[in-house]
């Protein structure tokens, strides 16, 4: 790849991360406002909106999976490093690579098993909003696909860091 393509990919990557980050933040603010509105309408005016349960739940699922993708990209997902940090470099590389592979298998499994669920939900609509149920289940596939991409990059980075720091013959 030439330098221009690498710069363009880097810019796109940053744009995607910022977009996911700000969309997740916007969804969080939206959820808070919708819940505040629905609680106010229910307990102050005794007239709750019909969508008070479905809309915030759908936004919450989207926010969660998009936010997890951002955390995965930044390497901020939860992991216990107490024991792995005490292992020497080469066994640690194998263990970390194996852990990345297990995460990739789990994410791939979630995407594969979510596809039939999306097919089943195509015909149904939520009662109060009229939105398709696909909007409730699509974030699993979208978020997991993004996490597969970012987790693969983390695994490659782990291997490249080991090779850079432990190159033979230097």
Decide: 133 and 121 in contact? Cβ < 8 Å: yes
* Residue (of 140, 138, 73) closest to 108 by Cα position: 140
CA distance 116 to 124: 14
User: What is the three-class DSSP state of 129?
Assistant: coil
Token code pair at residue 91: 């066994």
* Residue (of 126, 138, 119) closest to 61 by Cα position: 138
Mean pLDDT (the chain, rounded): 89
In a domain, 51, yes or no: yes
* Residue (of 168, 150, 146) closest to 158 by Cα position: 150
Range of the domain at 73: 3-165
Confidence class for position 168, pLDDT limits 50, 70, 90: low
Per-residue pLDDT tens digits for 98-150: 999 999 999 999 999 999 999 999 988 998 888 999 999 999 999 999 999 99
Count Cβ atoms below 10 Å from residue 20 Cβ, excluding itself: 20
Token code pair at residue 26: 């916007």
Q: What's the domain count of the chain?
A: 1
What local confidence, expressed as pLDDT, does residue 170 receive?
45
State yes or no: pLDDT of 89 exceeds 70.
Answer: yes
What local confidence, expressed as pLDDT, does residue 133 receive?
92
In a domain, 9, yes or no: yes
In a domain, 35, yes or no: yes
Decide: 77 and 42 in contact? Cβ < 8 Å: no
In a domain, 170, yes or no: no
In a domain, 18, yes or no: yes
What local confidence, expressed as pLDDT, does residue 1 receive?
62
């Amino acid at each position: 790849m030439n330098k221009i393509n690498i710069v363009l990919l880097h810019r796109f990557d940053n744009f995607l991360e910022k977009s996911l980050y700000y969309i997740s933040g916007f969804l969080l603010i939206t959820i808070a406002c919708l819940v505040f509105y629905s609680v106010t309408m229910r307990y102050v005016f005794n007239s709750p909106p019909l969508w008070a349960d479905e809309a915030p739940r759908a936004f919450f699922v989207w926010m969660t999976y998009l936010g997890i993708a951002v955390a995965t990209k930044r390497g901020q997902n939860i992991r216990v490093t107490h024991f792995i940090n005490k292992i020497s470099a080469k066994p640690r590389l194998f263990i970390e690579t194996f852990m990345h592979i297990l995460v990739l298998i789990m994410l791939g499994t979630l995407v594969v098993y979510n596809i039939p669920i999306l097919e089943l939900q195509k015909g149904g609509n939520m009662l109060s909003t009229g939105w398709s149920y696909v909007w409730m289940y699509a974030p699993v596939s979208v978020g997991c696909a993004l996490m597969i991409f970012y987790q693969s990059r983390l695994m490659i980075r782990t291997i490249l860091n080991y090779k850079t720091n432990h190159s033979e013959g230097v």
